[in-house]
Amino acid sequence: MAKKKNIEEPVKASGLFTYAPAPESPAAAGDIATSYGHFIGGEFVDSSGSEALKTVNPATEQVLAEFAQGTDEDVDRAVAAARKAFADWSALPGSERAKYLFRIARIVQERSRELAVLESIDNGKPIRETRDVDLPLVAAHFFYYAGWADKLDYAGFGPSPKPLGVAGQVIPWNFPLLMLAWKIAPALATGNTVVLKPAETTPLTALRFAEICRQAGLPKGVVNIVTGDGRTGAALTAHPDVNKVAFTGSTPVGRAIAKQLAGTRKKLSLELGGKAANIVFDDAPIDQAVEGIVNGIFFNQGHVCCAGSRLLVQESVQDELLDALKRRMATLRVGDPLDKNTDIGAINSAEQLARITALTDAGEAEGAERWSPTCELPGTGFWFRPTLFTGVSQAHRIAQEEIFGPVLSVLTFRTPAEAVEKANNTPYGLSAGIWTEKGSRILWMANRLKAGVVWANTFNKFDPTSPFGGYKESGYGREGGRHGLEAYLDV
Amino acid sequence: MSTVAANAPGVAGSGLADVAASEASLRRFLHGLPGVDQVGLEARAATLGTRSIKTAAKAYAIDLAISMIDLTTLEGADTVGKVRALCTKGRTPDPTDPTTPRVAAICVYPDMVATAKAALRGTDIQVASVATAFPAGRAALPVKLADTADAVAAGADEIDMVIDRGAFLSGRYLDVFNEIVAVKEACKRPDGSYAHLKVIFETGELQTYDNVRRVSWLAMLAGADFIKTSTGKVAVNATPPVTLLMLEAVRDFRAQTGVQVGVKPAGGIKTTKDAMKYLVMVNETLGDDWLTPHWFRFGASSLLNDLLMQRQKLTTGRYSGPDYVTVD
């Protein structure tokens, strides 16, 4: 485009017509019990301990339910149940295992509204995302790995690859049901049995998934769910009868697990933090790049390990792009996660909100310039305005540390080489985005970026057929696709 | 109503005055516009289509949509009686409810302009006429100009011209540009004022989104008051992604030149639900400034009745049938 005149256009909140609230009914989430135990050996059982934790709705701060803090004994029981089920489950022909997985996938689809609403209530993410992104992907993962169950001989891991045994899986709170699907679907398809621990702020959909396992007639003990906080997770990953550990979560916890498992025969896959660079060149499709930037960092309140939290923009289009980005950010609707028109929901917990606040304060203190659209935030609950930092340099904390919130740091570059250098200059290496109309540049960049996933002219797109995982402190191992099978096979 | 006189100085002051100095400079400019990523554009349009418009917002949007309609009849079989009936419908869309807003304009062929003008006397409803050898646009320039002048002389307030898609697709951008300039001149009335010029691209024939962005800028630079997707006479007419792209183009054009241009999706928009999606796109891409009949129109004939039925549902709480709205 010809040189842009610098018009000071007021950035204003969206339009003349304010959308009336379009709330999804909380009742659609189904009955939420006042307290939950574990799901072990196909039964809902009480914990052996008396300690209970509470899960709250982050949008209202209301307690939704109590759930058990899993003890060592609970973990022991669950692992034993999984071990017992392993013999029969792994001996089933792949085509039989596939039937169960297909059945689970179909039940997830049938109950998707219920699961979407429950996920939104427990996690704080907008119903628009659980309905349109999370649940379709959950079903897709089960369908996809169901398809592999009887074709493992042809997956490229040699003839008749064998399952590992009992998989201990620990998942985070940002995509509770989706991470469960990423972990459970390939494990079951390959003939393993699992003990899964959901995050302590979001256990409800995993427990609802336990019901689905029963509805699907899944043999007892193939899937076990033990709830609790980090102590329960540590007991699970340390358990001597667990053959495989899969963890998604923060880098410090991942590092602790790696230490814990070093020297054992357990197989480990880690999917940890990230600080992705979203790189915009001057020939990028500007309007779509703005959408990609927004989707990259504000999707799921920025609670995404592969979020495009560092915007690297070519200096020549910086002003134009930032004007467009601010204009677009002003139309984001923050509020009630159950409103179908909400774009950004609640921050998952008070603890996470405090962390985001501390890091953004540090950004200001270190001299970066902060900008947020003026939008009203609800009185109760945990909220954070979508935030943009300009004038950020690599030496700022907000350019180095994972914020895990709706906060974007903007840096600039002048040449492709500089973009690569800055993009790779982080301890992480999970994902990256490239925006340019030049195909050869996309390939040139993708070859040089140290990131497990590189998106071109898009961002935060997931598909069960595509492997996902990191470099450096973002972990190791891959989930999804044919590569995702390897983590659960003895190869 | 903006005219060339109002339009030209803005463009001149924006550094774009010389863009159309030669075929080469015009091409350089149009090809230098940011590209369009197909996947991203379509995804954005689809996302905007999921906004949930209920209750008060829906009532507001329905009335707004009715007031933005260019109620259209463009058939070979059009008669004076048919056009008069359409004009009556435009004045009182729902005879059972006088609070129903009027439509923005009645759109007819040039030979029906005088009839429509007479039938609409005393209202502020505009008469729009498709000129320039609509819908194919395959006639010599003098014929197109005569067609336009004839419609203007008959009293047309707005001229919907079609561009020469053949010239555009073969890269003769300057020819298209000059033709729009000439037609705009033919819109001039004896008193010096101009009929409002809407330029129809027939985006279904232009095929690519890059072409849509280029032709939007081309028309705006040439002085279009409105840019319009299509004639309604081909297989693919207005689509949400194409309209979104044109909304982005008028937004960028105003930011650069200070000149505001209207947008009119036409053809294939039949239901209230469709219309809501377009209004949401305008709302979230351009905001208040374009959410008026002066800057956004729907080219439609069957949309109105669906809007009226939805309107009745909101007021009565019940769905009525097609016999509760008039057929013309």
Cβ contact B41–A288 (<8 Å) = yes
Per-position b or e across B207-218, b if 16+ CB within 10 A of its CB: eebbbbbbbbbb
Domain assignment present for residue B281? The answer is yes
Tokens of B233: 């006479």
Closest Cα to residue B295, out of B45, B99, B2, B16?
B2
A17 interfacial to chain B (CB closer than 8 Å): yes
Domain containing residue B265: 3-54+107-301
For chain A, percent of residues with pLDDT exceeding 90: 95
B141 interfacial to chain A (CB closer than 8 Å): no
ipTM associated with this complex: 0.91
Q: How confident is the model over A155-171, as pLDDT tens digits?
A: 999 999 999 999 999 99
For chain A, percent of residues with pLDDT exceeding 70: 97
Q: Position of tokens 């790049």?
A: A289
Long-range contacts of A481-487 (CB under 8 A, 24+ apart): A482/A148, A482/A155, A482/A156, A484/A145, A484/A182, A484/A186, A485/A145, A485/A148, A485/A152, A485/A155, A485/A157, A485/A186, A485/A189, A485/A190, A486/A157, A487/A186, A487/A244, A487/A246, A487/A267, A487/A269
| Residue among A24, A129, A287, A333 with most chain B CBs within 10 A, to mutate | A287
Quickly list H helices, A127-175.
127-129, 135-148
What are the Cα distances from residue A270, in Å, to A86, A277, A468, A474? 23, 21, 11, 8
- Cross-chain CB nearest to B52 (options A16, A287, A341): A341
Closest approach of B56 to chain A, Cα-based (Å): 6
Our count of domains for chain B comes to: 1
Domain boundaries, chain A: 26-272+474-490, 277-456
pLDDT of residue A11: 39
Q: How confident is the model over A417-462, as pLDDT tens digits?
A: 999 999 999 999 999 999 999 999 999 999 999 999 999 999 999 9
B11 band by pLDDT with thresholds 50, 70 and 90: low
Domain assignment present for residue B183? The answer is yes
Interval B27-48 mean pLDDT? 96
Search chain A and give the residue with CA nearest B64: A17
Domain assignment present for residue B67? The answer is no
Cβ contact A341–B51 (<8 Å) = yes
Closest approach of A330 to chain B, Cα-based (Å): 10
Contact A347, A382 (CB under 8 A): yes
Domain assignment present for residue B100? The answer is no
The H or E element spanning position B143 is: helix B141-153
Residue A195 above 50 pLDDT?
Answer: yes
A401 band by pLDDT with thresholds 50, 70 and 90: very high
Closest approach of A2 to chain B, Cα-based (Å): 7
pLDDT of residue B10: 52
Strand order in the sheet with A407-413: A369-371, A387-390, A407-413, A310-314, A277-280, A431-435, A453-456
pLDDT of residue A4: 38
Q: Whole-angstrom Cα distance, residue A149 to residue B246?
A: 48
Strand order in the sheet with A244-248: A43-45, A38-40, A223-225, A193-197, A166-170, A244-248, A267-271, A475-476
Number of other CB atoms surrounding residue B294 within 10 Å: 16
pLDDT of residue A353: 97
> Which residue is catalytic, options B70, B160, B225, B274?
B160
Collapse the DSSP code of A61 into the 3-class scheme (helix H, G, I; strand E, B; otherwise coil) and give the result: coil
Domain assignment present for residue B318? The answer is no
B16 band by pLDDT with thresholds 50, 70 and 90: confident
B12 band by pLDDT with thresholds 50, 70 and 90: low
Would you identify the CATH topology of the domain A277-456? Aldehyde Dehydrogenase; Chain A, domain 2 (3.40.309)
Contacts of B252 in chain A (CB under 8 A): 1
Residue B252 above 50 pLDDT?
Answer: yes
A439 interfacial to chain B (CB closer than 8 Å): no
| Residue among B14, B38, B50, B52 with most chain A CBs within 10 A, to mutate | B52
Q: Whole-angstrom Cα distance, residue A317 to residue A364?
A: 24
Cβ contact A7–B15 (<8 Å) = no
Is B198 among the residues known to form the active site?
A: no
Closest approach of A59 to chain B, Cα-based (Å): 20
Q: Residue B119: which residues within 8 A CB-CB, separation 6 or more?
A: B83, B84, B87, B88
Q: How confident is the model over A361-378, as pLDDT tens digits?
A: 999 999 999 999 988 899
- Cross-chain CB nearest to B291 (options A2, A16, A288): A16
Tokens of A213: 């396992």
CATH code of residue B148: 3.20.20.70
Domain assignment present for residue B202? The answer is yes
pLDDT of residue B321: 86
Would you identify the CATH topology of the domain A26-272+474-490? Aldehyde Dehydrogenase; Chain A, domain 1 (3.40.605)
Closest approach of A120 to chain B, Cα-based (Å): 17
Interval B125-141 mean pLDDT? 96
Contact A192, A224 (CB under 8 A): no
Interval B32-53 mean pLDDT? 95
Residue A470 above 80 pLDDT?
Answer: yes
Mean pLDDT of chain B: 93
B328 band by pLDDT with thresholds 50, 70 and 90: confident
> Which sign does the torsion angle of CA A349, A410, A422, A357 carry?
negative
Quickly list H helices, A239-366.
251-261, 286-298, 318-329, 350-365
Domain assignment present for residue B85? The answer is no
A395 interfacial to chain B (CB closer than 8 Å): no
Search chain B and give the residue with CA nearest A294: B44
Interval A206-216 mean pLDDT? 98
Q: Is B326 exposed, middle or buried (0-12, 13-18, 19+ CB in 10 A)?
A: middle
A92: left (phi over 0), alpha (psi -120 to 50) or beta: beta
> Which residue is catalytic, options B89, B117, B144, B264?
B264
Is A271 among the residues known to form the active site?
A: yes
Q: Whole-angstrom Cα distance, residue A105 to residue A109?
A: 6
Closest approach of A318 to chain B, Cα-based (Å): 14
The type of residue at B249 is A
Cβ contact A128–B41 (<8 Å) = no
Phi, psi of A470 (to 5 degrees): -125, 175
Cβ contact A17–B37 (<8 Å) = no
For chain B, percent of residues with pLDDT exceeding 90: 89
Q: How confident is the model over B55-99, as pLDDT tens digits?
A: 999 999 999 999 999 999 999 999 999 999 999 999 999 999 999
Predicted TM-score of the model (pTM):
0.94
Closest approach of A247 to chain B, Cα-based (Å): 32
Closest approach of B58 to chain A, Cα-based (Å): 8
Contacts of B19 in chain A (CB under 8 A): 2
pLDDT of residue B319: 86
Q: Which of residues 101-140 of A touch B (CB under 8 A)?
A: 128, 132
pLDDT of residue A292: 97
| Residue among B37, B210, B257 with most chain A CBs within 10 A, to mutate | B37
Residue A3 above 90 pLDDT?
Answer: no
Count of A–B CB contacts within 8 Å?
101
Residue A223 above 70 pLDDT?
Answer: yes
B323 interfacial to chain A (CB closer than 8 Å): no
Q: How confident is the model over A309-356, as pLDDT tens digits?
A: 999 999 999 999 999 999 999 999 999 999 999 999 999 999 999 999
Cβ contact B53–A22 (<8 Å) = yes
B17 interfacial to chain A (CB closer than 8 Å): no
Interval B167-179 mean pLDDT? 97
Per-position b or e across B58-80, b if 16+ CB within 10 A of its CB: bbbbbbbbbbbbbbbbbeeebee
B246 interfacial to chain A (CB closer than 8 Å): no
Contacts of A1 in chain B (CB under 8 A): 32-34, 252, 256
A20 interfacial to chain B (CB closer than 8 Å): yes
> Which residue is catalytic, options A24, A129, A200, A271?
A271
Residues in a beta bridge with A157: none
Residue A491 above 70 pLDDT?
Answer: yes
Domain assignment present for residue B59? The answer is no
Q: What DSSP state is assigned to residue A260?
A: H
Search chain B and give the residue with CA nearest A128: B50
Q: What DSSP state is assigned to residue B31?
A: H
pLDDT of residue A7: 36
Mean pLDDT of chain A: 95
B61 interfacial to chain A (CB closer than 8 Å): yes
Q: How confident is the model over A240-272, as pLDDT tens digits?
A: 999 999 999 999 999 999 999 999 999 999 999
Contact B221, B19 (CB under 8 A): yes
Interval A458-468 mean pLDDT? 96
Search chain A and give the residue with CA nearest B46: A132
